[in-house]
Structure 1
Amino acid sequence: MTPVTSENLAVASQDQDALHTTAPGQLRVIKRNGELAAFDAKKISLAMRKAYIAVEGEGAEASSRMRDLVEQLTQQIVDAFVRRTPEGGTLHIEDIQDQVELALMRAGEQKVARAYVLYREEHARLRAAQQQGIAKPHPTITVTHLDGQRRPLDLGRIETLVQEACVGLERVSAKKIVDDSLKNLYDGVPVDGVATALMMTARTLVEKEPDYTFVTARLLLDNLRREALSFLKIADEATQQEMHAFYPQAFEAYVAKGIAFGQLDPRLAEFDLERLGAALNPEADNQFTYLGLQTLYDRYFLHHEDVRYELPQVMFMRVAMGLALNEDDREARAIEFYQLLSAFDYMASTPTLFNSGTVRSQLSSCYLTTVPDDLDAIYNAIHDNAMLSKWAGGLGNDWTPIRAMGSRIKGTNGKSQGVVPFLKVVNDTAVAVNQGGKRKGAVCAYLETWHLDIEEFLELRKNTGDDRRRTHDMNTANWVPDLFMQRVFEDKEWTLFSPNDVPDLHDLYGLAFKEAYEAYEAQAQAGEIKLFKRIKAADLWRKMLSMLFETGHPWITFKDPCNLRSPQQHVGVVHSSNLCTEITLNTSADEIAVCNLGSINLVRHINAQGELDVEKLQRSVKVAVRMLDNVIDINYYAVPQARNSNLKHRPVGLGIMGFQDALYKLGIAYASDAGVEFADRSMELVSYFAIEASSDLAAERGSYETYAGSLWSQGVLPIDSIERLVAERGEQFIEVDRSSTQDWVRLRAKVQQQGMRNSNVMAIAPTATISNICGVSQSIEPTYQNLFVKSNLSGEFTVINPYMVQDLKALDLWDEVMVNDIKYYDGSLQPIERIPEEIRQRYATAFEIEPKWLVDAASRRQKWIDQAQSLNLYIKGVSGKKLDVTYRMAWYRGLKTTYYLRALGATSVEKSTVDRGTLNAVSNQSAPQAPQETAPKAPVSAAPKGVDDFLKGHSAQRAPQAAELDELGCEACQ
């Protein structure tokens, strides 16, 4: 029997709307569209014959029984109509179809009648769906829309959406997504449920094919478009192709709405919105990963009453317009800025993305303060923290001037409780003022290593002890003088003082610090200073490393290289770094240092030939520096000291991200001489172009106010300032590569002739969130794992290394077994012996790379940077000796700062393939141990006694698990 389908019934009916032309008694038929037509009995016969054929097969055509029965039934139907209207009249098409069904049932032809009924119902749904604009309705599933009405599921639109989402992605299947999604739908599903089913289906496929993350993002875009376009009254929904027409309309409506809501700067309406709308590139939406787009939706898009009415390209244009407000040709500059952002060649920092173009344009990332030793000043500083944090600024506080516990308070003749109680207030303020609800408030307290409260400061993040003297939510960092490190190397004693007894130490560094410090030690020895403590430098170093391992804090940062290499040492002192340890700017009671951040996406500057595109990099850096300089004049300053400092010195911090991705595209392992060399050469180019761009801006706009007397004015560039550090520290305590490839002689002359627009130009921030947006590796970080689940405020996301998958596919090694193997080994390739050694080395993860390589690469970058870099250190099989060697090496290689320590205990559980049949292609061995690190050439002693003893009690520290992983970098900067 031929299957009963809508197709063959449609053939059988020959369009039931045409069941007429001529009829006895001049009967006429009212069609569904209201038109009148003549009745034609032959159409009834034809319809019934085709219905029989549809049910019984083509053989029914030759059946005399069928022909006779059809003639008989047709005549019965005609007679019934004639009896009803003997003088002629009108019939509705539905009446005729009712009589056909009734005649078939009376004749006992239930199967044919039932098929005819089903066809009529399906055809009725089809007509209703077509009236609603649904070209291909699902036969059984309806969708509940926001107005509460149910409409047929539009299969045609779903297929179009999914096919659009797969455009340009050869390794994905639109059909699989549609088919699998339909299995998870039910009749009456909410409209959002359809979108969710499509996205969830695509998400589950990411671990097998990374390109599905782009598919998922593009499906998410459908939700975003529906929400924004309907709110802006442009359209109820739109496909990607339709956005070419809708984006310009949405952009103009968005600007009007944003200004009306009091969210957007009214000056945006003064732009040529038609010109800017025409410049929007809808295709740029297709480059988002799912994590990147979801992050934008959750935290960046402007919203009104919980409705996001900002779309991705609109957001980038809003940011670009905000940065171009003061430009002469605002539209041209806005388009230039937009193109850089939307292409992911460069990304502005999170505060700039949050606030550019809004009524409160707080665009800066970092604020550094010095807290004076005065009660009013202390609480003013805490108030400043709150105001700066409110508008998404990350904070670094220098607390070294605060007198130590036990020191005399002249006003009350009492004794101080030291710095710790105030830090508890700072901690709670950061929790209370959570950056407008967009993310956690974040602050880092810095204290110099000679401060008498340093030992208690080291314990602030412990989970034991008096909780009133603990700060569980804030970050802490040691501000370490070179003299202390030298005494650790030489195993000498160290003296702790209260700042009110040694007030000038706070502002001294290098040999001047050494001379003053030794003089104070002599005074203490002679009894002239009463409040002090002498300890072995190695014992304090041991405690610093122990607390760093146990609590992750305080971070270790180095005072002298930050100051000796600072271009601005003629007008102040660097007293601390910032929240993420990449900013090194002067602070004082009158100046709160401000830095404005953005990052070049390095992998976007690797061309198709697998080479660094130098010309493109130069163009990107030039535009980026201009954007950063514009921030300074447009920026909203929550406190006057920040405005004073920023307008006077105009510092910016251009960094990089996607470094690991760039290495993958170049086919270079991170842990290799070639990787270190690429770190050197790529940063040299960024440095060269950034300095030149700032100098060219000075020729156009004028130098910054305090340029005269700076290292820039003396022709001393960052690469040259290394010599000053060597001279003060001594050759025996530093080893830094000083090779170069660019024409630095020319650039020195140019800087001295034209000046500099910015006191500081470079800093490498963590880029935690903006890297997610761009879908690349964070900052200068190695890959955490090749396959893991990333957790952040936007949810959990499967992250897989697409470069690894591509290389394994090329070797015909990518299959279900490989996926399971990599998941079993927590994203590591090292235990999987069927993978070639070269590939395993290329895709070694953060804990599989010896920290030596991280430090070496950072040292090569640091020589080109006038500020610092956020450098996380990953140490597997942690031991006292390894910690000691790593941090001594960081200092010895000339680094200014270090950031988080990520440590895996020496006895972390290792996995093998015993009794696991699914891993039959993998050798039954545990993961190999990482190779031993190469010790620096400086005289490095064994780990201070006691560190290993401490670590033995903690050797089973659990590694960060994949599903638990949050942002490894702090979001406050980027």
Structure 2
Amino acid sequence: MIEKIVKRDGRVVPFNPEKITNAIYKAMLATGEQDLKLAKRLSQKVINKLEKSLKKEEIPTVEQVQDIVEQVLIEEGLARVAKAYILYRQKRAEIRKEKQQILGKKEIDEVDKRFDINALRVLASRYLSRDRTGKIVESPKQLFERVAVHTTIPSILYDSRVYSLKRLNKKQKEEKINPEALEGKLKIGRYTLNRYHIEGLIRVYSRLNSERKMKKRLSQIIEMIKSGEFDSYEEEINQYYNLMTHKKFMPNTPVLVNFGNPLGMGMACFVLDMEDSIESIMETLKRAALIFKAGGGCGYNFSKLRPKGDYISTTHGKSSGPIAFMTLYDKMTDVIKQGGVRRGANMGILNSDHPDVEEFIVAKKGNRQLTNFNISVFLKEDFWDYYRENRPYPLINPRDGKVWKYINPRSFFDLIVYEGWESAEPGLLFDDNINRYNPLIKAFGKIYATNPCGEVVLYPNESCDLGSLNLWAFIKEEFSQEGRKVYFDWEEFERAIRVATRFLDNVLDVNKYPFPEIEKMTLKNRKIGLGIMGLADMLFELELPYNSEEGRKMMERVMEFVNYYSKEESIKLARERGRFPTYRKSFYPEGKMPIRGFEERESWHLDWEKLVKKIKKYGLRNAFTTVVAPTGSISMIAGTSSGMEPVFSLVYEKKVTVGTFYYVDPVFEKTMEREGLFDDSLIKEVSKREGSIQQIKYIPDKWKKIFVTALDISAEDHVRALASVQKWTDSSVSKTINFPENATVEDMKKAYLLAHSLGCKGLTVYRYKSIKGVYIAGAEEEEKKTELTSLKDVKAKGPTIYKEAGIKSEIRETEETTGEKCPVCGSPLINIEGCKKCPVCGWSVCEI
């Protein structure tokens, strides 16, 4: 009886006969066969043959097993199935070779196998550590181990043997510990701590000790680690490691890049404040520069600055105004790369009643200036009274609180809409919808700012702690004699939510903050942002149209689930480690929740009353637990669609010197193969139709309803999807409201008003082809003589070039564009999730 098998990388693992059955059955499905009993019988025949071929105590190799599978299929007269199996095997061999080249390895390991070619290209180009010569010196497996170990460090220090929930009478004696001297000498189970892990340990200990919460000296804790007393935390490291390597969850880019490395900063974005003085403005500029250097982005509300032309008493001159200072910040951003990973990203905000707001609205007209900024108008709550009654709306000088002038509120709103129609900016932030669900409004007043992409609403000096669950990874596919069954695994999803919540809470503690004020404010409220990605691919699998009531109900249910179980885990953390410090000043003790869904009992799937009682009794560890961010590179690493966005295009075409290659949405490809419709002709047809199948006559209507792209969906349905996800999200949601090229200004105005009425906290819009320097989905208009490879070659070679799971479209430069390129790899940028983004390496102006 065969018990073990030798993998290609030399590892000996348990033998699993089901893998043989599944491989044969998948080859059968690819040729239109559907006989699971036959697949099981053939699988047993393979095992019998294999056992006879082995010497005593010989362990078979993967190659031996696959060779015998081929033999059995041919002997059984299943030539077409054998051919499909051989082609698949050949394709996998080519993929392995390509992965070896990307990573500079002789053999790929089990983690490399889980990630597709494009994911490894992104990891290799931007995430894996390199030496001074630029050579990769870290594997993906080592990266995820490095991050998992670093993230587990706070849990060790919160262990009840060394941590006290109650404040002790005195601090422990401070000791000098040299991280370099301890490097390689401390282990948690099988995991070795490097010097940066040890620096994190010292940093967290120092903070908890300053709060008089540590029962033991640091040197004693280090001895406990050496003696193996904390080896049980190896399991927590494994949980984080498995969550990431099985692509169920990814933290934001700074965590992957910096944890276990010199910079140590895992926060993506920060909100900075400034007062109306040159000293304050320049201090904020300096802080932004240092944040960019460490890998973060910044959001600012410039509304405290006096308007352009206002009197300056100290110089007897006139003020330059906020837009002039924004230009200064923009220039600074140009010359500083974010931690060597990406250029700085900014969100510039101005209140609707600032005297310079009209100039602000048109500041990015034609995308010719402030190119390192997203800009948004913060529409104050009282604006709507003036708008409804069409009364003159006062603009207030922040210097003295006096009316600067009056404007027509409806003309003002129309100007915002027109600029959005023409240039996709400014975005809108809705004061009333943001602060109605702000749990800390009594303690700190209103929130007036967000991070660069607008989905994290923050007070000054707060920061973003973000990570996303890959919904597609929780789709389960089962085969039986009756056929194929697909379902969403809610139990596994709950477990992942809980582990990811604990992960993000630990990030808050072990993070290396750029400034003490940011550390203090962030840890007062302990906001975390657990979000989602892979929504579009999940809906494809479940055959739920994105733009349907059923699709939106699934979105609501998913986010309700994320919010509920992240709060449950936050309660557990509060009991173990303490509530967030401003809990008593929040509205949680009153039984309130920061989500609109809580007010609509008829939509509950879970017992929210029970949860609120637990919060009242035990408190919460985190003021917010949910945010839906743009996922940029991390969705590319996970090989799934981006954030909550629909797929931008079902087919991506790439023209290179040797011919034309196509990349197809994986769920679409799989479905069309089952339907017997997938061939060269279909790929070219979809590409020519800008990635859409709606006008292809021979595709059944059923699939046209399910496989909709961003441009197939009406603006109203985009807004309703946004509202569905926002309903159960504490902070806000990053989503682009796509409009067709021929959309009118009035169409866009209706979308803005609908978004506000449905409770959305902000809005980003994009009318197709409206921005120069942004690229277009679909095939090139001018036919060129290029060599079209066969479908076989496309499938074999496809993974060696680029496949962006969230976009999956061809990106081409139109004649009138500026040809803006990615600063990392030189590829054309596209516009999605409100940001310019590189579809090849994942670089983005405001990528998370």
Q: TM-score, normalised by structure 2?
A: 0.70
Whether the aligned pair in 2 keeps the contact of 1:387 and 1:638 (CA below 8 Å) is yes
1:585 paired with 2:488, answer no
Of residues 689, 710, 719, the one that matches 1:855 is 719
Whether the aligned pair in 2 keeps the contact of 1:605 and 1:612 (CA below 8 Å) is yes
SS of the residue aligned with 2:532?
strand
Of residues 108, 111, 114, the one that matches 1:284 is 111
Match of 2:520 in 1: 644
Match of 1:445 in 2: 348
Match of 2:708 in 1: 844
Query: 1:408, CA displacement in angstroms?
Result: 1.9
SS of the residue aligned with 1:427?
helix
Match of 1:887 in 2: 752
Rounded to whole Å, the distance in 2 between the matches of 1:675 and 1:366 is: 31
Deviations 1:493-549 (A, max 9, x none): 3222221122xxxxxxxxxxxxxxxxxxxxxxxxxx4x6222211111121122222
Which amino acid is the alignment partner of residue 298 of structure 2?
L
Do the aligned partners of residues 460 and 542 (structure 1) sit closer, same or farther apart at CA in structure 2, a change above 3 Å counting? same
SS of the residue aligned with 1:595?
coil
The aligned runs of 1:503-902 (5 Å cut-off) are 529=402, 532-572=404-444, 573-587=446-460, 592-608=461-477, 609-719=485-595, 739-789=603-653, 798-876=662-740, 877-902=742-767
The aligned runs of 1:298-317 (5 Å cut-off) are 298-305=125-132, 306-317=134-145
Which amino acid is the alignment partner of residue 576 of structure 1?
A
Query: 1:606, CA displacement in angstroms?
Result: 2.2
Do the aligned partners of residues 754 and 383 (structure 1) sit closer, same or farther apart at CA in structure 2, a change above 3 Å counting? same
Query: 1:747, CA displacement in angstroms?
Result: 0.4
SS of the residue aligned with 1:899?
strand
SS of the residue aligned with 2:604?
coil
Deviations 1:274-312 (A, max 9, x none): xxxxxxxx3232222222110000000000020111111
Query: 1:211, CA displacement in angstroms?
Result: 11
Query: 1:314, CA displacement in angstroms?
Result: 1.1
Match of 1:154 in 2: none
Rounded to whole Å, the distance in 2 between the matches of 1:737 and 1:481 is: 29
Query: 1:551, CA displacement in angstroms?
Result: 2.4
Which amino acid is the alignment partner of residue 604 of structure 1?
A
Rounded to whole Å, the distance in 1 between the matches of 2:379 and 2:93 is: 49
Whether the aligned pair in 2 keeps the contact of 1:477 and 1:555 (CA below 8 Å) is yes
Deviations 1:673-718 (A, max 9, x none): 1111111111111111011111111011110110003122222113
SS of the residue aligned with 1:799?
strand
The aligned runs of 1:384-395 (5 Å cut-off) are 384-395=287-298
Whether the aligned pair in 2 keeps the contact of 1:904 and 1:959 (CA below 8 Å) is no
Do the aligned partners of residues 909 and 604 (structure 1) sit closer, same or farther apart at CA in structure 2, a change above 3 Å counting? closer
SS of the residue aligned with 1:895?
coil
Deviations 1:755-808 (A, max 9, x none): 1111111100000110000110000000100012589xxxx9953112112222
Whether the aligned pair in 1 keeps the contact of 2:435 and 2:441 (CA below 8 Å) is yes
Do the aligned partners of residues 631 and 623 (structure 1) sit closer, same or farther apart at CA in structure 2, a change above 3 Å counting? same
Which amino acid is the alignment partner of residue 151 of structure 2?
L
Match of 1:365 in 2: 268
Relative contact order, CA 8 A, sep 6+: which one is greater?
2
1:416 paired with 2:288, answer no
Query: 1:900, CA displacement in angstroms?
Result: 4.5
Rounded to whole Å, the distance in 1 between the matches of 2:103 and 2:671 is: 35
SS of the residue aligned with 1:303?
coil
Query: 1:910, CA displacement in angstroms?
Result: 11
Rounded to whole Å, the distance in 1 between the matches of 2:547 and 2:344 is: 35
Match of 1:498 in 2: 397
Query: 1:217, CA displacement in angstroms?
Result: 5.1
1:475 paired with 2:374, answer yes
Of residues 302, 319, 327, the one that matches 1:399 is 302
Whether the aligned pair in 2 keeps the contact of 1:451 and 1:496 (CA below 8 Å) is yes
Rounded to whole Å, the distance in 1 between the matches of 2:141 and 2:700 is: 42
Higher CA-based Rg: 1
Which amino acid is the alignment partner of residue 316 of structure 1?
F
Rounded to whole Å, the distance in 2 between the matches of 1:786 and 1:332 is: 40
Match of 2:99 in 1: 221
Do the aligned partners of residues 960 and 840 (structure 1) sit closer, same or farther apart at CA in structure 2, a change above 3 Å counting? farther
1:968 paired with 2:846, answer no
Do the aligned partners of residues 222 and 687 (structure 1) sit closer, same or farther apart at CA in structure 2, a change above 3 Å counting? same
Whether the aligned pair in 2 keeps the contact of 1:394 and 1:443 (CA below 8 Å) is yes
The aligned runs of 1:51-200 (5 Å cut-off) are 170=27
Rounded to whole Å, the distance in 2 between the matches of 1:302 and 1:821 is: 42
Match of 2:482 in 1: none
Whether the aligned pair in 2 keeps the contact of 1:683 and 1:861 (CA below 8 Å) is yes
Rounded to whole Å, the distance in 2 between the matches of 1:895 and 1:354 is: 32
Query: 1:371, CA displacement in angstroms?
Result: 1.5
Do the aligned partners of residues 307 and 798 (structure 1) sit closer, same or farther apart at CA in structure 2, a change above 3 Å counting? farther
Q: TM-score, normalised by structure 1?
A: 0.61
Do the aligned partners of residues 864 and 642 (structure 1) sit closer, same or farther apart at CA in structure 2, a change above 3 Å counting? same
Of residues 151, 175, 198, the one that matches 1:323 is 151
Query: 1:886, CA displacement in angstroms?
Result: 0.7
Do the aligned partners of residues 960 and 599 (structure 1) sit closer, same or farther apart at CA in structure 2, a change above 3 Å counting? farther
Rounded to whole Å, the distance in 2 between the matches of 1:784 and 1:748 is: 39
Q: Between Structure 1 and Structure 2, how many residues are aligned?
A: 635
4+ long deviations beyond 4 Å: 166-173, 209-217, 720-723, 908-916, 956-965
SS of the residue aligned with 2:295?
coil
Which amino acid is the alignment partner of residue 811 of structure 1?
E
SS of the residue aligned with 1:820?
helix
Whether the aligned pair in 2 keeps the contact of 1:904 and 1:958 (CA below 8 Å) is no
Query: 1:368, CA displacement in angstroms?
Result: 0.8
Rounded to whole Å, the distance in 1 between the matches of 2:538 and 2:283 is: 45
Rounded to whole Å, the distance in 2 between the matches of 1:627 and 1:846 is: 32
Query: 1:844, CA displacement in angstroms?
Result: 1.5
Whether the aligned pair in 2 keeps the contact of 1:446 and 1:478 (CA below 8 Å) is yes
SS of the residue aligned with 2:739?
strand
Whether the aligned pair in 2 keeps the contact of 1:291 and 1:797 (CA below 8 Å) is no
Whether the aligned pair in 2 keeps the contact of 1:565 and 1:721 (CA below 8 Å) is no
Whether the aligned pair in 2 keeps the contact of 1:397 and 1:446 (CA below 8 Å) is yes
SS of the residue aligned with 1:477?
strand
Do the aligned partners of residues 599 and 579 (structure 1) sit closer, same or farther apart at CA in structure 2, a change above 3 Å counting? same
Whether the aligned pair in 2 keeps the contact of 1:658 and 1:777 (CA below 8 Å) is yes
Rounded to whole Å, the distance in 2 between the matches of 1:682 and 1:212 is: 38
SS of the residue aligned with 1:610?
strand
Q: CA RMSD in A?
A: 3.4
Rounded to whole Å, the distance in 1 between the matches of 2:29 and 2:344 is: 41
Query: 1:212, CA displacement in angstroms?
Result: 9.9
Query: 1:483, CA displacement in angstroms?
Result: 2.6
Which amino acid is the alignment partner of residue 304 of structure 1?
D
Whether the aligned pair in 1 keeps the contact of 2:424 and 2:770 (CA below 8 Å) is no
Which amino acid is the alignment partner of residue 746 of structure 1?
K
Query: 1:172, CA displacement in angstroms?
Result: 13
Match of 1:3 in 2: none
Which amino acid is the alignment partner of residue 448 of structure 2?
H
Rounded to whole Å, the distance in 1 between the matches of 2:662 and 2:271 is: 36
* Percentage of pairs with the same residue: 27
Rounded to whole Å, the distance in 2 between the matches of 1:482 and 1:881 is: 23
Rounded to whole Å, the distance in 2 between the matches of 1:789 and 1:716 is: 50
Which amino acid is the alignment partner of residue 762 of structure 1?
T
Query: 1:648, CA displacement in angstroms?
Result: 1.4
Rounded to whole Å, the distance in 2 between the matches of 1:913 and 1:365 is: 39
